[in-house]
Structure formats: structure tokens, C-alpha cells
Amino acid sequence: MIDFTPPRETLALAAKVRRFVAEEIVPYERDPRLTQHGPTDDLRREMVARARAAGLLTLQAPARFGGMEFSHLDQAVIFEAAGWSTLGPVAMNCAAPDEGNMFILGKIASEEQQERWLRPVIEGRERSVFAMTEPDGAGSDPAQLKTEAVFDGTHYTINGLKWLITGVNGAKTWIIMAKLLPHDFGNDGPTLFLCDGDTPGIEIERVMNSMDRNYVEGHGVVRFRDLKLPASALVGEAGAAFRYAQMRLAPARMTHCMRWLGAATRAHVIALDHARRRTAFGKPLIEHQGVSFMLADNEMALQAARLAIWHTCWLMDRGVKGRHESSMAKASVSEALFAVADRCVQILGGIGVTDETVVEMIWRDMRPFRLYDGPTEVHKYAIGRTLNHKGTGMTALFEDAA
Ligand SMILES: Cc1cc2nc3c(=O)[nH]c(=O)nc-3n(C[C@H](O)[C@H](O)[C@H](O)COP(=O)(O)OP(=O)(O)OC[C@H]3O[C@@H](n4cnc5c(N)ncnc54)[C@H](O)[C@@H]3O)c2cc1C
């Protein structure tokens, strides 16, 4: 039986989160420290202090770090509530890239590494980056990884160029993906390394001007020039970076879906309110079929997105890896939610493209969601391959029943 009714305590906590975000975080959407390169670290720290005071900071952290260690389904309900403002997840320390980085470091980093690089991020004192994407190498296809690491038995030396790396300015905890060249001391291949952001050899060339403003300190171009790290910088095993990235894959896709569902719902609420009040041709906009159909499309899309998220979470909570389902959810939810935001802009008329409402910002902030954590086409490519090799869907359910 499929049953993903969220527990009552989870719904109560979500209501508390929703109140906190609406009352304490939404006002920051007009703060000048929300720049073209996202919230400044100063703004982030101020919002984090509010979440800490409200008892709502890093709720998803492992219990051993004082967190609630949510089930995937609990997380879906709480993160949707946090996403009501694009700044909500930043305040509650459950935004990308920190949320995914905390997840992966909690699974594979050594105890010593966790104390040094994970704990300060969980406590909201520091931020983290995940440096994989490259202008002429890794992107949709991580196998194109070009950044190289050479090991001499005591130190790694890393050289390469990365871009679109979120939050580089001022981040302490850096996870770097590089191709470890063959050496005499063990495995080689794609490998994760961990170091401080101010290590000599990390050169931040610039922060890119992007259409979104919700990620702290924007997205940077970074050169690693003879970045020298000790043997202890290795995270997990050498050559296992893609396997570790897979562990993070399904949960990270889903948390993006959860947060954006909250933002799209807010845009829909604003558009609905407008359509009830604004009149044209002798009646409220909502009484024109063209407008009511757009609102109905939104309502159906939000409902379908929530069900796809909750269903995938329910599977993952039962131990199913959910790679296929999370791919379907990520592709369909990202496309559907952006279409919701776009219809909201349309319903608002001219003010939809101005900052008179937050809908314009949600639209811009949400657009990149169709690209990161796998562009839609790459997910469809993966879904197509599964269809070719295994046949059609509902696989997990039928496997369970068998
Ligand atoms: C806002 C934002 C934040 C980001 N933050 C980070 C970060 O912190 N760290 C990091 O490492 N990276 C980050 N990225 C990079 C992100 O992971 C990549 O943009 C993504 O993996 C796609 O890679 P690419 O940009 O190189 O596009 P490409 O790989 O060049 O792909 C371009 C397009 O080609 C098409 N395509 C590719 N493969 C296929 C296929 N198999 N079938 C059909 N079509 C295909 C798709 O339409 C795709 O959009 C971020 C990106 C954005 C937009």
C-alpha cells in the first residue's frame, strides 16, 4: 500500500517553519545585501542567527550533530515550507550547495575531517563549495573531468579550471573533484579532496553575473594552480568520486524540487489573489476562462509535483535508491514549476515583470533549476536508457511485490 501521509508532528513543524519564513525572512527580500551575486555572507549570517534563535537551524543534520535527521518524506514537507521565500533555505541552512555537501560529508568524510570541515557548516558559522563543473571538461558528463591531481606519496598537487561554482567567496569548506593520475601508492581516477578555501593555489578569478540571486555569493570561476594538499585531504577512497556523487544524486535532486515547490506555490498564491481582485472587461480576471485555465494548470502542476516528490521520498525511505524515479521527478518537477512561475508572471500582467511582487524574482531564480543537478535533457536521456534496458516504469513497486 502506498501511504505517505506526513506525521502530525512534521506538519506542525512545517507550520512553524512557514510562519518563521513569512514573518522573519520575507522582509529580507528587499534588503540591499541581496545583490546580483546573491545574498552576501553578512546577510546570510543575520538570517541564520534568526533561524538559530527560532530553533530552526540545520534541522536536517544528523542526530549526532544535534539535528533531527529527517526521513526523506519529513524533509519534503519541511523544505517546501522553507522554500516559501528563496531566502528561507539560506536562513535555515538547508540551501544548496551546503545542504548537499553536508549530506555527502556526513556519509564519507572521516571523523577528523567532519569536525574540521563539516561541523562549522552544520552550525551555520561557515559555508561550503562543491567544485566539479569545468568550462572544457566535466558538466552534464562528469567523465569529461579535466582537473588533474598528482600524488607524490605525501602530497597531492591539483591543477585545473572550474566554473559555475556556487558560493566560492568566503567559503571555508571546499570539496574539489579532480582526476587522480596513476601513481605508485594506490588507486587513481576521479577523486574528492577537502581543503580550506584560503589554501594557496586556489585563485578565484571572478564571480559570474547570472540571472539568479538566491545562492549566497553567486557562482565563481576558480583556477587551481599547483594547489598542494596533504595526503589527509583525500575524502573517502581514491578513484571513488563518481560513486560518492551517485550517493548524493537522488537526495540532492529531491531537495531542490522540495524547495522550489514552496517558491512556486507562493507565486501561485500571489497570482490567484491578483486574479480575484483585478478586473478587465467588466469582471475579475479569474472569471475569464483564459485566466482561470492558467490558474487551474498551476494547481494541477503543483499537486502533481508534490505527489512526484512525496512518492519518490516514500520509496527512498523504504530503501529504494530511486535513481529512475528521482530522475523523472527532477525533470518533470523543474519543468512544471518553471511553467507555473511563468504563468504567474502572465496573470499579473505588466507588474509581473517588475519587482512590485516577488514573482519576478522567483521566475529568475527558478530558471537555472532546469539545468543544475542534471539538465532536463540529460535526465530524459537517462530515463530513455532505463526504458531501453529494463522496460517501462513502476519498477520499484513491481520489484517489491515480486
Ligand atoms: C545556478 C547554478 C549553480 C551551479 N552550481 C554548481 C556548483 O556549485 N558546483 C558545480 O560543480 N557545478 C555547479 N553548476 C553547474 C551545473 O552542475 C552544470 O551547469 C550542469 O551540470 C550542466 O553542465 P554544463 O553547464 O557544462 O552544460 P553542458 O554539459 O555543456 O550541457 C549543455 C546542454 O546540452 C544538453 N545536453 C547535455 N547532455 C545531453 C544528453 N545526454 N542528451 C541531450 N541533451 C544533452 C542539455 O540541454 C544541456 O543543458 C551550477 C549551475 C548553475 C546554473
Pocket test for ligand 1, best of 36, 86, 140 (most atoms within 8 A of CB): 140
- pLDDT value of residue 391: 85
364 close to 209: Cβ distance less than 8 angstroms: no
Distance 312 CA to ligand 1 centre (A): 23
Is 78 in contact with 56 (CB distance < 8 Å)?
no
Q: Specify the pairing of strand 202-208 against strand 173-180.
A: unpaired
Domains and CATH numbers, the chain: 8-95 (1.10.540.10), 128-238 (2.40.110.10), 242-401 (1.20.140.10)
Supply the angle between the helices 289-317 and 72-82 in degrees, to the nearest 10.
Answer: 140
Pocket of ligand 1 (CB under 6 A): 97, 130-133, 139-140, 164-166, 212, 219, 368, 371-372, 375, 377-378, 381
Nearest protein Cα to ligand 1, atom 16: 372
- For residue 166, give the ligand 1 atom closest to its CA: 8
Residues 172-182 as b or e (16 or more Cβ within 10 Å = b): bbbbbbbbbee
pLDDT at 149 (0 to 100): 98
Q: Give every CB contact of residue 88 below 8 A, 6+ residues apart in sequence.
A: 17, 21, 25, 81, 82, 259, 262
Contact between residue 351 and residue 357 where contact means Cβ atoms under 8 Å apart: yes
> In sequence order, which residues have a C-beta less than 8 Å from that of residue 262 and are 6 or more positions away?
79, 80, 81, 82, 83, 84, 88
Distance 327 CA to ligand 1 centre (A): 15
The pTM of this model reads 0.96
Atom 35, ligand 1: residue with shortest CA distance: 377
- Ligand 1 atom closest to the Cα of residue 133 is 11
Closest residue to atom 1 of ligand 1, CA basis = 368
Q: Residue 249's pLDDT is what?
A: 81
Residue among 259, 372, 376 to mutate when testing ligand 1 (max atoms within 8 A of CB): 372
> Whose C-alpha lies nearest to ligand 1, atom 6?
165
Cis (ω within 30 of 0) for the bond into 39?
Answer: no
Ligand 1 geometric centre to CA of 292 (Å): 35
Q: What pLDDT sits at residue 246?
A: 84
26: CB partners within 8 A, 6+ apart = 84, 85, 87, 358
Could you tell me the mean pLDDT of each successive run of 10 residues in the chain, 402 residues long? Answer: 89 98 98 97 98 98 96 97 98 97 96 98 98 97 97 97 98 98 96 98 98 98 98 97 88 95 98 98 98 98 98 94 93 98 98 98 98 96 92 61 50
Beta-carbon contacts of residue 45 (< 8 Å; ≥ 6 apart): 124
Contact 212, 365 (CB under 8 A): yes
- Give the model's pLDDT for residue 392: 81
How close is the Cα of 154 to the center of ligand 1, in Å?
A: 34
- CA pair distance 25, 263, nearest whole angstrom: 13
pLDDT at 87: 98
Residue located nearest, by CA, to atom 25 of ligand 1: 139
CA of 331 to the centre of ligand 1 (A): 13
Which residues face 183 on adjacent strands?
none
What separation in Å is there between the alpha carbon of 144 and the centre of ligand 1?
A: 12
